[in-house]
Structure 1
Amino acid sequence: MKMKVADFHCDALSKMRIHPEMDFTADDRLDVSAKRMVQGNVKLQCFAIFLSKQLGTPNMGHILDQIDVYNARVVPNGIYPIRYAEELEQWEQEGKQGGLLALEGADGLEGNLHYLQVCFELGVRLLGITWNHANWAADGILEQRNGGFTLKGVQLVELSHQLEMILDVSHLSQKGFWELVELSEAARRPFIASHSNAYAVCDHVRNLHDEQIQAIIRMNGRIGVTFVPWFVQKGGTPSSRHLLPHIEHICALGGEHHIMFGSDFDGIEEHLSDLDHCGRYLDWAEMLLKHYPERLVRGWLYDNAVRFLRTWLPKTSKRFN
């Protein structure tokens, strides 16, 4: 039986927004397409709304554009949109391919908390607070001053918790990370790092330090080990086997049940030599099975991510149908 896969980060929507001629069905320019999801048995894909500089100054209109791309060009090609825990259960029972919407960076919300509510109503369920740089809510990881949250940013976190929006710390500054730990522990809601690796293995600024990994484990969050080559290894031509030290390091810190994958497909122009699109996931699964027990591999590929969603997606909605 082929192992099921859940991937917590791709940028196909942004690429399709910039290139309107791209067809999600089977366009080989897309790392994540309907065809390749079937090939790799990717049952659940998180589609990020990333506001590229090519689109101009981030605004709510650009967010709505990518939600339209998802609804008009992705969902009709066999992707079951998941917004609530009930839909997650229905999707699993039906065995379909599912999609989740994430917003990568709060920049496009323009400091308007009502816009977050609008995004939630339109199906967005994950929020990465920053991209690499500062925005109105917090500093990103490349902001040299390493600031934390603004007062409006704290309000954004509080509203996210009320809405049951899942927060994502990939790209967030170190100070912001630790402020969010306090806010999230007070709210008793864990967060995720959707696409980050272990800094102790590859000292890229976007990777997580041991203390951060342990904090995510302590709150029962999730870490999406990512396939970005320069987050995996410095220099050379890394392959999927170079991901193993990251997995082993997180496991050594107690995180074997907290690992998932967040490929960053379609957000990168360079790839791991043998893991260049989501159709390769089953080859990756076979390689993992050569090194680890099946129960762990199933957890990393699918079970850990879906178990987290089952717990933390909103349970009910008056508008659920």
Structure 2
Amino acid sequence: MEVIDLHCDVLEKLTRFEDAQFRNDPRIQANLTNLIKGQIKVQVFAIFISPDVPQERKFLEAARQIEAFHTKVLCEPEMVHITDWQQIQTLQEGQIGAVLSLEGCDCIGEDLTKLKLLLDAGVKLVGLTWNYENAVAYGASENPKRGLKPFAKEVIQLLNERDVIIDVAHLNEQGFYELLPMAKYLIASHCNVRALCDHPRNLTDNQIIQLIQNGGRMHVVFYPPFIEKEKDTTSIEKLVEHVAHLANLIGIEHIGFGSDFDGIDPLSVTNLSNAAEYRYLMHSLTKQFTNMEIETIAKNGFLNYVAKIGTRMDL
């Protein structure tokens, strides 16, 4: 069954390990061989800059990851750069769509031109923060009562003008609620349910409902501590509990996957340690969902969502 996965950190690994290769490097959970085995139809590749990188070097690191995207990912004949969501519908058998995202606006500082350059490079999803404060907003590890910063208005306006999806993953609570009415397109690319696992990176039921009511989507993440509190490993069945909770809360058409492969290594869900093992998750889902429902979660719900991008005129 074909899958769309909204988050991996392959690019960070490809730049951190200079000898790394995308096709079959065993250090890369979402390498090409694993994507093929897992029947991944579209993979979103995040640009993630470690908070340890000095501010003056962060944009250069983003550029290095974009270079790796072109020279190590897109050089593989199976990979197709998705710069328009409608391209997904034209992918041929054996082709995999590759999408760029930005995991936090840290690398742009207060320079909107830098964000424009990243969007021009093909970035289609943008998170305002990672876990910590930047010039735009406060992350999930910060005070949950601090809202968006003044610069956020300029950033959100640009993203809306470009029909870019704004990712709420990693955003703190107050920033989340302030963003909802301002954003044209919204997604939680890799978050789980706080009612089942009380972690600041997960969303409360009210946040989830508000996200959907504002046109967004919720994609579950495979990181054990976000599935079961303070657990370094957990089971696929526990992950499915999050999917089932969401199905009851918001409906299957609003649920998807955002594995966070290569951002969660070395921790992993048992039998879900890399993209090739998606089949075990698909099998576990059959215990609670029909094949048609699983197809909606795995791919079709997201396709229906992006089919509407570019049609909204109300913001």
Report the TM-score when normalising by structure 2. Answer: 0.93
Match of 2:277 in 1: 280
Q: Which residue of 2 aligns with 1:266?
A: 262
Match of 2:225 in 1: 230
Q: Partner of 1:89 in structure 2? A: 89
CA contact (8 A) 1:139 1:146 kept: no
1:74-223 matches, within 5 Å, as 74-77=73-76, 78-91=78-91, 93=92, 96-144=95-143, 146-184=145-183, 189-223=184-218
Q: Which amino acid counterpart does residue 114 of structure 1 have in structure 2?
A: T
Match in the other structure for 2:297: 300
- Code of the residue aligned with 1:89 in structure 2: it is Q
Q: Distance in 1 between matches of 2:28 and 2:54?
A: 22
- For 1:16 and 1:215, the matched residues in 2 are separated by 36
Give 1:95 shift.
5.3
| Alpha-carbon distance, 1:305 to partner | 1.8
Number of matched pairs: 308
Find the counterpart in structure 1 of residue 251 from structure 2. Answer: 255
RMSD between aligned alpha carbons? Answer: 1.7
The percent of aligned pairs where both chains have the same amino acid is 32
Q: How far does residue 287 in structure 1 lie from its aligned partner after superposition?
A: 1.6
Structure 1: state its 5+ residue gaps: 316-321
Query: Is the 1:125–1:313 contact (alpha carbons within 8 Å) kept by the matching residues of 2?
Result: no
Instruction: Deviation per CA, 1:44-96: give whole Å up to 9, x if none.
Output: 100000001454435221111100000110011121010113423322x5551
Output aligned runs, 1:5-20, within 5 Å.
5-20=3-18
1:258-290 deviations in Å (ceiling 9; x for gaps): 000000100012000110000001121112113
Cα deviation 1:194-253 (Å, max 9, x = unaligned): 000000011111100011110122123111111000000024531111012211211121
Q: Which amino acid aligns with 1:33?
A: N
Change (3 A) 1:99 1:306: same
The answer to whether the 8 Å contact 2:144/2:173 transfers is: no
Is the 2:164–2:185 contact (alpha carbons within 8 Å) kept by the matching residues of 1? no
Q: Which amino acid aligns with 1:170?
A: A
Rate the CA distance shift 1:178–1:235 in 2: closer, same or farther, 3 A: closer
Which residue of 2 is the match for residue 42 of structure 1?
A: 40
SS where residue 98 of structure 1 aligns?
strand
Find the aligned partners of 1:260 and 1:213 in 2 and give their Cα distance.
13
Secondary structure in 2 aligned to 1:45? strand
Provide the residue aligned with 1:318 in structure 2.
Answer: none
Q: Deviations over 1:279-316 (max 9, x none)?
A: 0011211121132111111111111122222222699x
| Contact 2:194/2:202, CA 8 A, preserved across alignment | yes
CA contact (8 A) 1:85 1:314 kept: no
1:241 aligns with 2:234: no
Q: Give the aligned partner of residue 4 of structure 1.
A: 2
TM superposition score normalised by structure 1: 0.92
The DSSP-based 3-state class of the residue aligned with 1:149 is: coil
C-alpha distance in 2, partners of 1:314/1:49? 27
Give the stretch that moved more between structures: 40-49 or 77-86: 77-86
Tell me how far 1:190 sits from its aligned partner: 3.0
Answer whether contact 1:217 1:255 (CA < 8 A) is retained: no
